[in-house]
Amino acid sequence: MRSLKKISMALLCLVWSSFIYSQQLRLGKTSLALQKSAILELESNDQGMLFPRITDTTLINGLAPPDGMVIFHQPSVQLMIRSNGYWRALSTTDLLKNYWSITGNAGTSSSNFIGTTDDKAMIIKSNSNSFLELGRRATLGLVQAYTDYSDNNEQLTYLKSALQFYAPAAQFYKPKIFIDANGNFRIKGSAAGVDYFEFGATGTSDNGGLEFITGKDGNEPFVFKSYKSATSTMTEIMRLQSGTVGIGTASPAAVLDVAGTYKMGAKGTVQKNTISLEIATTSTINFGGANLVVIGLAYSPALVDVDLAIPTANAPTSTRATVTVSLDTDLPAGVSIGSARLTSTSNVRVRMYNASTNSRTLGNGTKFYVTITEF
């Protein structure tokens, strides 16, 4: 009997040594050599490995399972591995087909999407901070008792960051939408590659406003245009540039330059042009003396019509206008201006009288200041 036990122990050691070498274990077929990199090697043509089947992880969690432990989770019917203190599913190839890959997906359809199927917010984060949230206004907690902010079911994209656009041609001031430190909504960006524009809300402590900025060299304009699709034409309506305002003109020549009709005052009428110009005489103007007949009590002042040529650049579009005239010097004694009118779009006629019985003259080069108001 003692000899039989010794033989049995010898056989057991022999068999065990055939499976264990350098702390390695091989189960199954024994004809092949052990893989040196494997501490445990299983091989079979008709058998598999069965992992512990767990319905509730509460008990095993109480034993502080280490990372790397594998179980079969019966409720979800999947293998799970312990990682960073949590049980995480070991995804199969078929299961991965239902997920979005970080390297992109192919063969998607309108039924594929990234998001939630219940009334929960979809949140996109970076560095553990929320940058984008999608959902109903109520779901996102953004309902307020103000007009346009009180609809619980309004669908919202809630952006929690500034928004900058790709602009390779912009050397400076890459375009962005942002909120400043005072809660003012702003938009800024580049113009013509190196110039700058910005507009948005401004102000602090209940003293807000809306401002528009453009510049770099200082003469960058604000331009307002209208588009007519029938003719594919663009019409400039108004321009603000270098401290001037041009309406109907792309090159304002005054602080306010209106290239068209205008109306001043609630009861004012529409005017076409107000033209002010200086016209100098090219010769001496002579006034004869007035005729006075004492016996018949007749009196006839001397009359002279002075024609002043209007330069082409200042010519009105019609003779329907009022004309006012003054001179750069005092009129001779007894001489006065009786009337002024347009005889054509290129000529102003000033009728002058000499009430004195003595002749009078206006020297060559006397300047007439003429204002034509066309309506």
Q: Are residues 37 and 59 in the same domain?
A: no
- The model's pLDDT over 79-129, given as tens digits with 9 standing for 90+, comes to 999 999 999 988 776 666 677 888 888 888 898 889 999 999 999 999 999
- The model's pLDDT over 61-71, given as tens digits with 9 standing for 90+, comes to 999 999 999 99
pLDDT surpassing 70 at residue 142: yes
| Parent domain of 241 | 222-259
At 296 the pLDDT is: 58
Q: Are residues 17 and 73 in the same domain?
A: no
Q: Are residues 244 and 279 in the same domain?
A: no
| Count of domains for the chain | 5
Q: Are residues 42 and 75 in the same domain?
A: no
The answer to whether residue 174 is domain-embedded is: yes
Residue scoring higher pLDDT (21 or 273): 273
What mean pLDDT, rounded, does the chain reach? 89
277-315 core/surface letters (b: 16 or more CB in 10 A; e: else): eebebeeebebeebeeeeeeeeeebbebebebebeeeeb
Helix (H, G, I), strand (E, B) or coil at 79: strand
Q: Is residue 188 packed enough to be buried (19+ CB in 10 Å), middle (13-18) or exposed (0-12)?
A: middle
Give the largest CA-CA distance in the chain. Answer: 186
Cα–Cα dist 115/118, whole Å: 9
Where residue 207 falls among pLDDT bands split at 50, 70, 90? very high
354 CB neighbour count, 10 Å cutoff:
24
The answer to whether residue 118 is domain-embedded is: no
At 16 the pLDDT is: 47
Q: Are residues 209 and 231 in the same domain?
A: no
At 46 the pLDDT is: 86
The answer to whether residue 331 is domain-embedded is: yes
Q: Are residues 283 and 352 in the same domain?
A: yes
At 11 the pLDDT is: 46
The answer to whether residue 177 is domain-embedded is: yes
Q: Are residues 295 and 367 in the same domain?
A: yes
Cα–Cα dist 196/294, whole Å: 81
Instruction: Return the closest-CA partner of residue 202 out of 188, 221, 183, 216.
Output: 183
The answer to whether residue 315 is domain-embedded is: yes
At 201 the pLDDT is: 97
Q: Are residues 289 and 354 in the same domain?
A: yes
What CATH number is given to the structural domain containing 293? 2.70.40
Q: Would the pTM count as exceeding 0.85?
A: no
Query: What does the block give as tokens for 117?
Result: 């199927």
The answer to whether residue 304 is domain-embedded is: yes
Q: Are residues 305 and 361 in the same domain?
A: yes
Report yes or no: 228 and 235 within 8 Å, Cβ to Cβ: yes
The answer to whether residue 107 is domain-embedded is: no
Q: Are residues 67 and 38 in the same domain?
A: no
Q: Are residues 15 and 57 in the same domain?
A: no
At 221 the pLDDT is: 93
Helix (H, G, I), strand (E, B) or coil at 183: coil
Residue that terminates a domain, selected from 38, 68, 94: 94
At 291 the pLDDT is: 76
- The model's pLDDT over 7-38, given as tens digits with 9 standing for 90+, comes to 455 445 444 444 444 567 777 776 567 777 87
- How far CA 87 is from CA of 51, 71, 83, 93, in Å, comes to 15, 9, 6, 19
Q: Are residues 279 and 353 in the same domain?
A: yes
What is the residue whose two structure tokens read 């009590």? 297
- The answer for residues whose C-beta is within 8 angstroms of residue 337's C-beta and 6 or more apart is 325, 331, 350, 351, 352
The answer to whether residue 108 is domain-embedded is: no
At 134 the pLDDT is: 97
